[in-house]
Amino acid sequence: MIPIQHFLVLSSILFSLGIYGVLARRSAVLILMSIELMLQAVSINFIAFAVYLYPKEFSGLIFAIFVITIAAAEVGLALAIVLRIFRNKATANVDEVDVLKW
């Protein structure tokens, strides 16, 4: 069995890459991808702790499925907003979009 430390290191690396992507990127689509990366790191933590602490229960797996579901809904809504802003302003750069009124 793989030690839990390996999963925690993988999760922390993914979360750190996600934070870097949110802070360093200017494109709204790349920022959304970085947020998804951070959410998947949280899902890995949920599953790892569920398997190692309570192997007979499915609570961590259920939480991970909820995180994935919420992430899919968040991406759908955020991409619709980004697409609308791109059609109106002709850019997906978050620095150039400073107001939400047309």
pTM to 2 decimal places: 0.84
Determine contact, residues 73/43, Cβ cutoff 8 Å.
no
Q: What's the fold here for domain 4-89?
A: Helix Hairpins (1.10.287)
Domain residue extents for the chain:
4-89
Q: SS3 for 27?
A: strand
- CA-to-CA distance for 25 and 11, rounded, in angstroms? 21
Nearest CA to 61 out of 53, 14, 35 is that of 53
Q: What is the pLDDT along the chain (102 residues), one digit of tens a residue?
A: 889 999 999 999 999 999 999 999 888 889 999 999 999 999 999 999 999 988 888 888 898 999 999 999 999 998 898 888 888 877 777 777 776 665
For tokens 């991406």, the residue is: 75
Read off the tokens for 54: 């309570």
Beta-carbon contacts of residue 53 (< 8 Å; ≥ 6 apart): none
Q: So what's the pLDDT on residue 69?
A: 93
